[in-house]
A and B are shown apart, each in its own frame.
Chain A
């Protein structure tokens, strides 16, 4: 293993976060705080408890997931897209680093940033509402697994995108709607039966449900199923990344 290579990519990406601290950390924290103010305080005061949890507390796992998904994708996709855009990808391709090492470097850094952000949002949420974590180990597992999986997805997106529009379109038009409709702000049991069935086709439902279970012990779908779906998506991403490097898709001519 080229550990120095992995470290170089990882540190390079983390340094970018430090340079763009406002964009990387402060902006997501600010938008999350606004969610708490609008949904938690203004609207939440008119909504009764859900599964014995106050509405403000109920939306905390969903809000963390919302930021985790979007930030994992945008960090990882930007990380690999920018060298393609600027042309500096030549150095990565000509370096003695394997697929695994490149992915560990980029995805590791993107996932690290997302996990840090998730922790910050959790701390921020504590300022607004009471947050319980019944299963902290599972909470960390879901957090890490989701960050890694969606960072891998973001990496794929960054390789696939050949312009800035494509880079932005998936997080904006696919991920954000799926997250909003995946039970971030409600329990899917609150939906009419037909929509409950439709919602089960949304993969984000399983992530949010499992993550929320680790907080309050309540889940829309079985925890085992949540975990299985997350691993299944992770596996799909791994296979796609392996194929990208094997064929050189959009990287090597």
Chain B
């Protein structure tokens, strides 16, 4: 973290619903301006609750939240005008036109009309041709675009995307990430939750993993993948092995999915990866191979592994 005020500071945030369910337990988090932050977690982990509290839709039971240094309760006008939210559900004003609903959003957030900005937003989301259509005539994907356009109508500095690509086609997903990249280029902070972890892997600077209301890990994506990800060396043997020889027991070896594959897992950050020693041992044992390949765990594998460990 730098010395500058983080764009989002969450301190010991708790949320307990009336029925006693603890949706958030002492969650603390800081996000810097211009970051793309991905919040990952299984269903019911507390992602949407956290977003709803920051945006003003839900009240916190305890803890504090500041956006660009402003408290979300006492200085709600300042914080909310900085935030744009794309909700998880497809909630739109069914009978309104696209243009009317986007113009409404801009006005609601205190901004004077700016047709040029709205035009730019609608064009960037391929909605310009549909601007006079009533929302009820649009497809689900188009409605999702409308929600994004509404969130961008007041030129927010922090954009929350709560599973924005759930149930949308590849084209929209690409459009959306293009928009996110453009926003990031202008210094907008993007905080997203997604079920498509490969998207977080592709887009995010940092990853937060939340489970049962607790933020169990917040780390730079590259570091997370380096530290928690497994690296594997796959050897394609000339002749399949019946069993892994005993003198190779010191190496983390396991048979691959194919009979002629042998998989060696190693720590790429360790002083010695053991690859040279393994290759020497294989040669002396007369085990020959025709090809090799290395792989690294995906963010999804890391995420699943982490959540399993916590459970």
Contacts and interface: CB of A to CB of B under 8 A. Distances in A.
A7 B81 CA distance: 16
A88 B102 CA distance: 13
6 contacts: A2-B110, A4-B109, A9-B108, A19-B95, A93-B55, A253-B59
Contact of A96 (B57, B92, B106, B109): B109
Given A5-B109, A253-B58, A88 B92 contact: yes
Q: Which of B55, B106, B108 has the most CB of A within 10 A?
A: B108
A38 interface: no
A90 B108 contact: no
A180 B55 CA distance: 46
Contacts of A12: 96, 100, 104
State which size class the interface on B falls in.
35 or more
Interface string A88-117: 101111111110000000000000000000
The 9 closest A-B pairs by CB, nearest first: A8-B107, A87-B91, A96-B80, A94-B55, A96-B77, A96-B81, A95-B108, A2-B110, A253-B58
A8 B58 contact: no
B87 interface: yes
B107 A94 contact: no
A143 B104 CA distance: 29
A248 interface: yes
Contacts of A5: 107-110
Contacts of A97: 108, 110
Interface string A1-21: 010110111011001100100
B91 A95 contact: no
Interface of B: 17, 52, 55-59, 76-81, 83, 85, 87, 89, 91-96, 100, 103-112, 150
A12 B100 CA distance: 8
Contact of B93 (A8, A11, A88, A248): A88
A93 B108 CA distance: 10
Contacts of A95: 80, 108-110
A90 B91 contact: yes
A8 B94 CA distance: 17
B110 A96 contact: yes
B156 to A, nearest CB: 11
Given A15-B100, A87-B89, A253 B110 contact: no
Nearest to B107: A8
Nearest to B49: A253
A253 B77 contact: no
A166 interface: no
A123 B137 CA distance: 39
Nearest to A93: B57
A48 interface: no
B62 to A, nearest CB: 15
Contact of B108 (A8, A86, A87): A8
A252 interface: yes
Nearest to A251: B57
Contacts of A96: 76-81, 109-110
Nearest to B55: A94
B21 to A, nearest CB: 11
Interface residues of A, number: 26
Given A12-B104, A86-B94, A94 B57 contact: yes
Contact of B83 (A8, A19, A94, A253): A94
B107 to A, nearest CB: 3
Contacts of B94: 86
A94 B100 contact: no
A86 B94 CA distance: 8
A5 to B, nearest CB: 5
A95 B153 CA distance: 12
Interface string A182-223: 000000000000000000000000000000000000000000
A79 B96 CA distance: 14
Contact of A91 (B79, B95, B108, B110): B108
Contacts of A16: 95
Interface in A2-49: 2, 4-5, 7-9, 11-12, 15-16, 19
A15 B76 CA distance: 28
B17 A4 contact: no
Contacts of A248: 59
Contacts of B110: 2, 4-5, 95-97
A69 B91 CA distance: 31
B98 to A, nearest CB: 14
Given A86-B94, A94-B83, A252 B58 contact: yes
Interface string A54-94: 00000000000000000000000000000000111011111
A203 to B, nearest CB: 33
A168 to B, nearest CB: 20
A15 B107 CA distance: 14
B79 to A, nearest CB: 8
Contacts of A8: 103-104, 106-108
Given A8-B103, A91-B150, A253-B57, 20 more contacts: A4-B111, A5-B110, A8-B104, A8-B106, A9-B108, A11-B107, A87-B87, A87-B89, A91-B105, A93-B55, A94-B83, A94-B85, A95-B108, A95-B110, A96-B79, A96-B81, A96-B110, A252-B57, A252-B59, A253-B52
